[in-house]
Amino acid sequence: MAKPTVVLPEIKVAKVSSLFDLLPSPTSSARPLTFEDLNQAYGFVLYRTQIEGGKSGMLKVSGLKDYALIYINGKRVAILDRRLKQDSVMVNLPKGEVWLEILVENLGRINFGPYLLQNKKGITDKVSFDGAEVKNWKMFGLPLDHTPKTQVKVASNVSDAPVIKTGVFNLNKLADTYLDMSDWGKGIVWINGNNLGRYWAIGPQQTLYVPAEWLKKGSNRIVVLELIKTEQSIVKTTKYPVLDRIQN
């Protein structure tokens, strides 16, 4: 017999931190290092450098694995997706020294076939702008093995940075439920320190299963890392999983 499920009142996630305010100490290298070079299995790596601006050109991330958000002086200018064979974008750089930041997500490793041993993650080759290689990188590992720590004050100079939003909801009874993340963009959710998994608006997984065993009577804490739709602030629930809906 299926376990009973419930719909909870809407959960507001109001406290916000910028992911880029929570960076660890960086590793420096002339060329980008892979996840494996950084001794990191999963999660994200932020690649940061400065380049001379005042011109337009093609920014190319050779060997991207797997998904990258590109920032110029704190403004997100592009998203590159290995699935769609995207590794380059035309960008306009303002005058002066320009901060270039590339947040790369490991979407999972291939465990079969000819690419089994060609499975490094991150930027596995090089970055070039207008045909010239970009060097002198600082890399910040963000494995997110545990619920990210948050801080109330947001002081990041990256205005479009991914956000970590937290909220609290109270329960009198415990039952399974599903978080409906279809209005959000792309990210990860934790409840009471438990990682529920990743969501992505393109689907097919629009919902995240929350077992009753991970909930408790009284106060419960939810943490959401959102990469794209940083303005979202409401998490809804549903009784049933949505596993067959694809969005473009």
Determine the Cα–Cα distance for residues 33 and 126; give it in Å rounded to an integer.
9
Q: pLDDT grade, residue 159 (50/70/90)?
A: low
Report the pLDDT value the prediction gives residue 15, as an integer from 0 to 100.
Answer: 86
Among 11-20, 110-119, 156-165, 215-224, the range scoring the smallest mean pLDDT is 156-165
- CATH code, domain carrying 152: 2.60.120.260
**Model pLDDT for residues 163-173, shown as the tens digit of each residue:** 999 999 999 99
The pair of structure tokens assigned to 126 is 């090089």
- Torsions phi, psi for 190 (to 5 deg): -120, 140
| 211 and 152 share one domain | yes
Whether this prediction's pTM lies above 0.85 is answered by: yes
Number of independent structural domains in the chain:
2
Same domain, 125 and 171: no
DSSP-derived letter for residue 153 is -
**Residue 209, domain member (yes or no):** yes
**8 A C-beta contact, residue 186 and residue 35:** no
**156 shares its domain with 114:** no
Give every CB contact of residue 155 below 8 A, 6+ residues apart in sequence. 18, 21
3-class DSSP assignment, residue 20: helix
Distance CA 19, CA 152 (A): 12
| pLDDT score of 203 | 79
Domain extent for 162 = 11-18+148-238
Predicted local distance difference test score (pLDDT) of residue 34: 98
The 8-class DSSP code of residue 149 comes to P
179 occurs within a structural domain: yes
CA geometry: angle 120, 125, 128, nearest 5 deg: 145
